[in-house]
Amino acid sequence: MAEAEYIVELRDVTKRFPGVVALSHMHLAVKPGEIHGLIGENGAGKSTLIKVLTGVHMADEGEIYVNGEKMVFHNPNQSTAAGIACVYQELNIEKLLSVTDNIFINKWLKKGVLLDYESMHAKAKEVMASLGQDIDPRKAAGTFGMGVQQMIEIAKAVLIDAKMIIMDEPTSSLGEREVEQLMRTCRELKSRGIGILFVSHKLEELFELCDRVTVIRDGEYIDTRDIKDWTNDSLITAMVGRTLENQFPKEFGEKGECMLRVEDLEIGGVLHGVSFEAYGGQILGLSGLVGAGRTEAVRAIFGADPLDGGKIFVHGKQMKLKSPKQAIAAGIALLTEDRKGSGLVLPESIRTNLILSSFKKHSDGMFLNEKRIEENGQGQIDALRIKTPSIDEIVGQLSGGNQQKVVIGKWLNAEADIYIFDEPTRGIDVGAKVEVYNVMNSLVKAGKCVIMISSEMPEILGMSDRVVVMRGGRVMATVDRDSKHFNQEDIMKAAWGGSLDDEN
């Protein structure tokens, strides 16, 4: 049958929620032994598509075929039984349990009435080794890094003989070497005839890894092409419905006063004599490899972690910032790397989240001014293009990019002078990234100071006026935009511990 050309196929699938059509006549077809990319803006319907494929949601209309056979999934168990597995962005790992327990949970091997741990340990070691991980499966999963934990999730899929594995933003929390291992694993799975649906916002990953790419937009199917028939620009245009002339729309403010100066910041075993300056009207980029100490430095500046030594000056005045509350009062805002864990209250509404850092601004004496909250909140929704049915939508129901915009709106309401963005575009699409960059542009043009931590080198080079390069909790170099060292090669050289001959 012609349908058997595909491992998994969606035909005209529609899924509705109250007031929203999340998917409309969606098409998708993944071949055996194919790495098939799926891309779309935040809110385009990728998560809903994944949930329909994995039986979390039932389609309202349309059909799902697996190996040419029509399927109806009422629950995830039925999808799993059909050979569809998913490695989610938020890993489903029980960190206190062993690797073996995680791999075999609900699929135990038994010897009589007892669990056959000898066989399970041996099989777990064999499966992990096939994925490039020579580890002791008896150890707790939480003792390993994110890369190994992700391979544990993939091992679960291999164990059930999955015909297709969905990988949802699989590289978002991985370092460079872990990404390389993941890509080797994907190619190995492909060679076994397993289909992979690779969901990513990173265009370079799609071009490096995928055979074909499907683009969806606003819940609708746009196009599928062989990877050789896509270009960077055509993918972006298909995804956002408009041309993005410049992925990094850098605008220059007028360099102002030194708003933040830190001297010799020390945290035992973490930071070692960190010193740098950040100016109004500029974006200071903090670059470095994973574990360089960038996040630890800004958390200390924000009063979230105690310092063992060093000085912090805001507008030239030395400050003793022992809590985030004191930092906010000093005019500092920190958009944390972990928006779900520490940036938002997910069960609460957009309305509530937008005022978390600005209660005084939105209150009259002891009482909140609901009219002011409504007007300012709707203004932020419009200005940041937050896709939501209303200001009262629960933040946890929003896509990742729209959640990030709510975090930004929360801090814009604080009317700070110094804005620290920690990985502000991680896990969001290129359209939403440009909107975040434009927020930064508006801040620097208003004379504000922006500090941006990013692990994306094009982003660092595209948006920064100056770059501080860190490694192992130390500043290795400071490079101005007009320096001859303002390039990927030299910044990476410094990040790996090399010296630059005439650092600024």
**Burial track 162-195 (b if 16+ CB lie within 10 A, e otherwise):** bbbbbbbbbbbbbbeebbebbbebbeebbeeebb
* pTM, two decimal places: 0.65
92 alpha carbon, distance to own chain's centre: 16
Give the sheet arrangement for strand 332-335, strand by strand: 332-335, 418-422, 449-453, 282-288, 466-471, 474-480
């929003």: which residue's tokens? Answer: 398
Of 255, 193, 161, nearest to 447 by C-alpha is 255
Helix pair angle (430-445, 400-412), 10° resolution: 10
pLDDT of residue 244: 56
Contacts for 458 with CB less than 8 Å, ≥ 6 apart: 247, 248
pLDDT in tens, the chain (504 residues): 444 689 999 999 999 987 778 899 999 999 999 999 999 877 788 989 999 999 999 999 999 999 999 999 999 999 999 999 998 877 888 989 999 999 998 889 998 889 999 999 999 999 999 888 899 999 999 998 888 898 999 999 888 889 999 999 888 777 778 888 889 999 999 999 999 999 988 888 999 999 999 999 889 999 999 999 999 888 888 887 766 556 788 999 999 999 999 999 999 989 999 999 999 999 999 998 777 899 999 999 999 999 999 999 999 999 999 999 999 999 999 988 777 777 788 899 999 999 887 888 888 888 888 888 888 889 889 888 888 888 999 998 887 778 888 988 888 888 899 999 999 888 777 777 888 899 999 999 999 999 999 988 889 999 999 999 999 899 999 999 999 999 888 898 888 887 886 544
Rounded Cα gap, residues 330 and 408, in angstroms: 18
**At CB < 8 A and 24+ separation, what contacts does 318-324 make?**
none
Backbone angles phi, psi at 274, to 5 degrees: -75, 125
The count of other CB atoms within 10 Å of the CB of residue 489 is: 8
pLDDT of residue 306: 94
Contacts for 83 with CB less than 8 Å, ≥ 6 apart: 7, 66, 67, 160, 161, 162, 163, 164
Query: If you count DSSP H runs as helices and E runs as strands, how many of each does the chain have, helices first?
Result: 16, 24
Question: What is the secondary structure of 350-416 as a DSSP string?
Answer: HHHHHTTT-TTTTEETTEE-HHHHHHHHHHHHHHHT---S-TTSBGGGS-HHHHHHHHHHHHHTTT-
Query: Which SS3 state, helix, strand or coil, does residue 190 take?
Result: helix
Rounded Cα gap, residues 377 and 333, in angstroms: 18
Give me the CATH topology for the region 2-240. Answer: Rossmann fold (3.40.50)
pLDDT of residue 1: 40
Rounded Cα gap, residues 298 and 92, in angstroms: 29
pLDDT of residue 145: 84
Cross-strand partners of 248: none
Query: Which SS3 state, helix, strand or coil, does residue 38 take?
Result: strand
Rounded Cα gap, residues 1 and 80, in angstroms: 23
Rounded Cα gap, residues 115 and 87, in angstroms: 26
